[in-house]
C-alpha cells in the first residue's frame, strides 16, 4: 500500500477518526485511504497525475501512486458531480462540499494546462473547543477570550491559511449564552459550534443558465430577518463585508468573522481591499470597521504547532488610514 512520506504526527487539533461511508469512499477511489486518515488535512492530484498529501508538515509526494490523465479527469468530474455540480469544457472549474468535512476543487483542461488538478481540504468532524486549540499560554488566554464572548464583543479574527482562525471562531462562539440564537453564514459550510441553537446557512452557485445564485452578501442581509442574537460569517472575502459592518453597527453585537492575513501588519491593507470590493471609500471603511469590531485577534501557528495569538483593536492612524493598535 503506498504511503505518504515522511509520516507526520497526529496534529494536536485533529479530532477522533471517523471512517468514510461506502458511497463516498467509492467516489474518492484511490484517494479514499488518505482522506480517511485523521492526520491528513489536504490531498492534491497534480496535472501530471502525481498525488501529494499534507498531514501537518506540508505537502509530501505519495510514492507508488500515480493517475493517468484519463483517470485524473474522471475522478475530478466524479467528485464534482457527487457534490451536485458539473465539470466539463463549458465549466472547467468547480468547487463543492462533499459532506463529512470534505471540500473539493477541480480544474480540467483547457484551464488546467497539464491535466486535471484536484484539491481536497478535509475538516475533521467534531466540535472545536479552546482546550483542543493548543494555545500558547492557554491557561492565561482562555479566560480572557471567554470574557470577550460573554461581554458580547464583536470579533475580527485573522490569520493565514491553516492557522486555525475558523477553528478559533467555532471554539469561542460555544461560550455564547445558551438561550441565544447563533446564525452562521458561510461560502461552504465548515463551522461546527458546540451550542444548542445554531442556524447554518450556505451560499449557492448559479446554475448553467446563470440563475439561482445566493451570495454571502445576500445571506447577511437575509439573516437579519431571522432574529439572530449573534451573526457569524465564516470568512469575509468581498462585498459581504459592507453588509456585515452595517449589521454590527446597527445593534447585532457579539458576532465574529475572519479574514485572511499573513501577519497582523497586513490587516489594514486586507480590509481596504475588501472595502473597495464593497464600494466603500477608505474613509468609510475605516470609520465603520473601527466602530463595528471591538477586538482583533490574529492567529499564527508556530513551529511548535501551538497557536500564538496577538490581540489589539482597529484605530485610525496619524495619516487617517486604518491601523491596528496592539495590546500592551
Instruction: Return the CATH number at 51.
Output: 3.30.450.370
152 and 136 in a common domain: yes
The model's pLDDT over 74-127, given as tens digits with 9 standing for 90+, comes to: 999 999 999 888 899 888 998 888 888 788 999 999 999 999 999 998 876 556
Instruction: Among 122, 153, 175, identify where a domain stops.
Output: 122
184 and 149 in a common domain: yes
301 and 163 in a common domain: yes
pLDDT per residue, tens digit, the chain (328 aa), is 444 444 333 333 333 345 788 889 999 999 999 998 888 889 999 999 999 999 877 789 999 999 999 999 999 999 999 988 889 988 899 888 888 878 899 999 999 999 999 999 887 655 667 877 778 888 889 999 999 999 999 999 999 987 889 889 999 999 999 999 999 999 877 788 999 999 999 887 776 677 788 899 999 999 999 999 999 999 999 999 999 999 999 999 999 999 999 999 999 999 999 999 999 999 999 999 999 999 999 999 887 778 899 999 999 988 878 999 998 7
Give dist(CA 94, CA 257) in Å, integer: 25
Give dist(CA 254, CA 273) in Å, integer: 24
- Residue 303's domain comprises 130-326
Q: φ, ψ for residue 135 (rounded to 5)?
A: -75, 135
Inter-residue contact 28 to 79 (CB < 8 Å): yes
Instruction: Return the CATH number at 213.
Output: 3.40.50.300
Strands of the chain, DSSP E: 42-45, 50-54, 59-66, 93-99, 102-107, 117-122, 155-159, 182-186, 198-202, 230-233, 256-260, 295-301, 307-316, 322-326
Q: Say whether 309 sits in a helix, a strand or coil.
A: strand
304 and 172 in a common domain: yes
160 and 286 in a common domain: yes
Rg value, the chain, Cα? 21
Taking alpha carbons only, the member of 288, 318, 313, 287 closest to residue 298 is: 313
Q: What is the pTM of this model?
A: 0.77
165 and 210 in a common domain: yes
The model's pLDDT over 270-300, given as tens digits with 9 standing for 90+, comes to: 999 999 999 999 999 999 999 999 999 999 9
Amino acid at each position: 500500500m503506498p504511503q505518504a512520506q515522511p509520516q507526520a504526527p497526529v496534529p494536536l487539533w485533529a479530532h477522533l477518526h471517523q471512517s468514510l461511508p461506502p458511497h463516498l469512499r467509492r467516489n474518492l477511489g484511490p484517494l479514499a485511504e488518505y482522506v480517511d486518515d485523521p492526520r491528513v488535512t489536504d490531498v492534491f492530484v497534480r496535472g501530471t497525475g502525481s498525488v501529494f498529501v499534507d498531514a501537518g508538515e506540508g505537502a509530501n509526494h505519495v510514492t507508488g501512486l500515480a493517475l493517468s490523465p484519463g483517470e485524473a479527469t474522471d475522478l475530478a468530474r466524479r467528485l464534482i458531480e457527487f457534490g451536485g455540480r458539473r465539470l466539463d469544457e463549458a465549466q472547467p472549474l468547480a468547487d463543492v462540499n462533499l459532506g463529512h468535512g470534505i471540500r473539493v476543487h477541480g480544474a480540467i483542461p483547457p484551464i488546467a494546462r497539464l491535466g486535471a488538478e484536484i484539491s481536497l481540504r478535509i475538516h475533521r468532524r467534531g466540535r472545536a473547543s479552546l482546550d483542543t486549540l493548543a494555545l500558547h499560554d492557554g491557561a492565561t488566554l482562555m479566560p480572557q477570550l471567554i470574557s470577550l464572548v460573554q461581554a458580547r464583543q464583536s470579533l475580527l479574527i485573522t490569520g493565514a491559511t491553516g492557522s486555525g482562525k475558523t477553528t478559533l471562531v467555532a471554539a469561542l462562539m460555544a461560550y455564547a449564552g445558551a438561550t441565544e440564537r447563533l446564525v452562521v453564514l458561510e461560502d461552504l459550510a465548515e463551522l461546527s459550534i458546540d451550542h444548542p441553537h445554531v442556524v447554518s446557512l450556505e451560499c449557492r452557485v448559479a446554475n448553467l443558465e446563470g440563475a439561482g445564485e445566493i451570495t454571502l452578501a445576500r445571506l447577511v442581509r437575509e439573516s437579519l430577518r431571522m432574529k439572530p442574537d449573534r451573526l457569524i460569517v465564516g470568512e469575509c472575502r468581498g462585498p459581504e463585508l459592507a453588509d456585515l459592518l452595517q449589521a454590527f453597527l446597527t445593534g447585532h453585537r457579539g458576532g465574529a468573522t475572519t479574514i485572511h492575513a499573513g501577519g497582523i501588519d497586513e490587516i489594514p491593507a486586507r480590509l481596504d481591499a475588501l472595502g473597495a470590493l464593497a464600494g466603500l471609500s477608505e474613509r468609510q471603511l475605516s470609520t465603520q470597521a473601527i466602530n463595528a469590531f471591538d477586538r482583533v485577534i490574529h492567529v499564527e501557528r508556530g513551529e511548535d504547532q501551538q497557536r500564538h495569538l496577538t490581540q489589539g483593536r482597529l484605530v485610525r492612524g496619524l495619516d487617517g488610514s486604518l491601523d491596528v493598535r496592539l495590546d500592551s
